């Protein structure tokens, strides 16, 4: 995840490896479960936050494709003139939206789903956003187009 809470409960967006290096000694917390997270600043993935002990229900481990894809989508919608919020935790439905974009009073959730999930999970997440009056667009990552997942999806 790119967003964590600092000790003052302010949202901090981790954007670069340089920023991560300056923040590595500070304490941060997951916006959903408020458990401690750490700065991850390796060479393979973008700098990001990760849970120290396991994960929470609103946050799952993220692949390189998911992290970079969310960043690209943020940049893309910002370029198009949308107001963009990254990784917004919605406590009512206990879900974290990858992005919520807004323009001319219209809000829309963008979910970049890289790891395959079942149709019932997809429906439950979509229903959660619908309950809040938020339309959602699902963008599927490359694993959804691999032959072994195509057969699995057709059976769901």
Instruction: Write the DSSP symbol of residue 106.
Output: E
**Could you tell me the two tokens for 103?**
């323009």
- Report the distance separating Cα 40 and Cα 119, nearest Å: 32
Query: What does the pLDDT look like over 71-130, one tens digit per residue?
Result: 999 999 999 999 999 999 999 999 999 999 999 999 999 999 888 888 899 999 999 999
Determine the Cα–Cα distance for residues 66 and 113; give it in Å rounded to an integer.
Answer: 7
Q: What is the mean pLDDT of the chain?
A: 87
- pLDDT at position 114: 84
Query: Sorting pLDDT into bands at 50, 70 and 90, what band is 59?
Result: low
Q: Is the pLDDT of residue 151 over 90?
A: no
Is 54 or 45 the better-scoring residue by pLDDT?
A: 45
How many C-beta neighbours within 10 Å does residue 16 have? 11
Q: Distance between CA 83 and CA 56 in Å, rounded?
A: 27
pLDDT at 131: 96
- Classify domain 64-155 by CATH architecture: 3-Layer(aba) Sandwich (3.40)
Distance, in Å, from the CA atom of 125 to the CA atom of 35, rounded to the nearest integer, reads 23
Check pLDDT > 70 for residue 153. no
Looking at the chain, the domain(s) classified CATH 3.40.1350.10 span 64-155
The residues that bridge with 58 in the sheet, in sequence order, are none
pLDDT digits (tens, 9 = 90+) for 131-145: 999 999 999 888 777
Identify the pLDDT of residue 148: 57
């Amino acid at each position: 995840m790119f967003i964590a809470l600092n000790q003052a409960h302010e949202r901090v967006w981790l954007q670069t490896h340089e920023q991560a290096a300056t923040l590595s000694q500070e304490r941060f917390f997951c916006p959903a479960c408020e458990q401690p997270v750490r700065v991850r600043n390796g060479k393979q993935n973008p700098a990001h936050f990760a849970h120290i002990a396991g994960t929470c229900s609103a946050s799952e481990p993220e692949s390189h494709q998911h992290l970079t894809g969310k960043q690209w989508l943020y940049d893309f919608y910002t370029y198009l003139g949308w107001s963009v919020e990254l990784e917004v935790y919605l406590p009512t439905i206990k879900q974290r939206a990858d992005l919520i974009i807004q323009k001319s009073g219209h809000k829309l959730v963008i979910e970049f789903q890289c790891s395959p999930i079942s149709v019932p999970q997809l429906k439950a997440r979509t229903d959660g956003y619908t309950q809040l009056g938020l339309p959602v667009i699902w963008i599927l990552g490359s694993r959804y187009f691999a032959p072994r997942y195509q057969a699995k999806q057709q059976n769901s």
